Chain A
């Protein structure tokens, strides 16, 4: 069931430049011919993935400290081999799944996604991973399941940041089942074709590209299918600032800052802000999930 979704972001810096330029000329040519491409504003974007250095040195992973450089400094302390994920709750085959066994069952593909942090910065990340739907299918989702809850590893001896109760450890996240089954929702196991570094959530993490980055929980050790909306870390800690849904939405501000614009990492000291896109640019794909919902209330 892999390859249900195709990238629309370019891959300029890993594709040889002449091929890349040709591709852009092709797109320009199509637009000129009045084909459907013109209707999709995203085709006009010339987004290139952020560099390996940018993606792996500027992270939020509070288990290793609250500074952006802390995860890159301390995440090597985390032992990721062996690793198993407990899948339980409303599933046919609950149990502890070894990471290597999961990987051997899944089709890993590349997904170049926008990544928008709730702190109003963003990156473009070339993830490697598989669709969460495939993993859930492996465990067999039962009829009554409505939500999926996730939990990050908590091992204080390897996580200096957990010495403080910055948040109520372990870190928890959750999705509605239809969000979890959406083809855009992936479990990432790599970046740029390399195994995902610890600071980015090794060995496996969630990536939900139309939601703020904190929803994309890292270093997952437990996935639980439930019939109730599961408590999530940030919405429990500060309910007035973070909701369960946390969809990227330029019209709904965080109480402490505007979400209308964002700064793309990598632009240097004089980097310009750019407007934030509804659902982080994935409106066509996911807006129907929220038909009839007041997004200002369900933030």
Chain B
């Protein structure tokens, strides 16, 4: 099996020059399209007979997937040599946009009744957890711009570590709303767990006085 590894990293490494040429706006554009298509499908009866839940679930699941992709950027570069760093902000901003639309569909199309919204947030643990996740992701989303990076300096990193907790709450939210023993939320939570553990490992290696081993890849 050991011979497979260099081949994978080799193939991924060859992708990097193409990725470098891909403009960031292309990521934003391709991210904006799916929700527009889903909305159109929902309005025209192409999302099944219960389009509200369908739209809500599609947006929520896509938000979680994008958050996980954002979390994977560093490990992908570190362990597989695939460099998506240039797109990380776009991935994060899109994830938060999907999450906001997910929340908006829940508020406006699903629950509808204003008194019910607050009652649900307080009384229903899966909604409490989901809302907490959204609030944790709000500061990183608002500071995903060059101005904030300059302004906040070293604090910017701390603000963006909120993403770790936010993603965990997102995965938990999915697990808690599933009826019975369902496999998909567990898969998401496992991936999130692995991605966070890889970070923990990296940080331990970076303790002062113990310069972490470099794997020959340039930090961007």
| Chain A interfacial positions (CB closer than 8 Å to B) | 50, 53-54, 57-58, 62, 66, 68-69, 119, 121, 164-167, 237-238, 253, 255-258, 260-261, 263, 265-266, 268-273
Contacts of A62 in B (CB 8 A): 180
Contacts of A121 in B (CB 8 A): 50, 53
A265-B49 in contact (CB<8A): yes
A167-B116 in contact (CB<8A): no
A54-B49 in contact (CB<8A): yes
B109-A167 in contact (CB<8A): no
Contacts of A272 in B (CB 8 A): 112
| Chain B interfacial positions (CB closer than 8 Å to A) | 42-43, 45, 47-53, 55, 109, 111-113, 116, 119-120, 123-126, 176-183
B120-A257 in contact (CB<8A): yes
B126-A256 in contact (CB<8A): yes
* Bound Cα distance from A245 to B126, whole angstroms: 25
Q: Which of A53, A167, A261 is B49 in contact with, Cβ under 8 Å?
A: A53
What secondary structure prevails in chain B residues at the interface with A?
helix
B50-A68 in contact (CB<8A): yes
A166-B180 in contact (CB<8A): yes
A273-B113 in contact (CB<8A): yes
Q: Which of A54, A166, A167, A258 is B120 in contact with, Cβ under 8 Å?
A: A258
* Bound Cα distance from A57 to B45, whole angstroms: 13
Contacts of A166 in B (CB 8 A): 180-182
Distance from B14 Cβ to chain A, minimum over Cβ atoms (Å): 38
* Bound Cα distance from A166 to B116, whole angstroms: 30
Instruction: Check A167/B180 contact, CB under 8 A, given A57-B49, A268-B45, A268-B51.
Output: yes
B43-A269 in contact (CB<8A): yes
Q: Which of A54, A165, A269 is B42 in contact with, Cβ under 8 Å?
A: A269
Instruction: Check A270/B109 contact, CB under 8 A, given A58-B48, A58-B49.
Output: yes
Contacts of A50 in B (CB 8 A): 49
Distance from B48 Cβ to chain A, minimum over Cβ atoms (Å): 6
A266-B49 in contact (CB<8A): yes
B52-A271 in contact (CB<8A): yes
Distance from A151 Cβ to chain B, minimum over Cβ atoms (Å): 18
Q: Offer 7 A-B interface pairs, CB within 8 angstroms, sorted by A.
A: A54-B49, A62-B180, A165-B181, A166-B181, A258-B119, A263-B50, A269-B51
- B48, B111, B123: most-surrounded residue (chain A CB, <10 A): B48
Instruction: Check A58/B50 contact, CB under 8 A, given A256-B177, A257-B124, A270-B109.
Output: yes
Contacts of B52 in A (CB 8 A): 263, 269, 271
Q: Which of B45, B48, B123, B181 is A69 in contact with, Cβ under 8 Å?
A: B48
Distance from A244 Cβ to chain B, minimum over Cβ atoms (Å): 18
* Bound Cα distance from A167 to B182, whole angstroms: 9
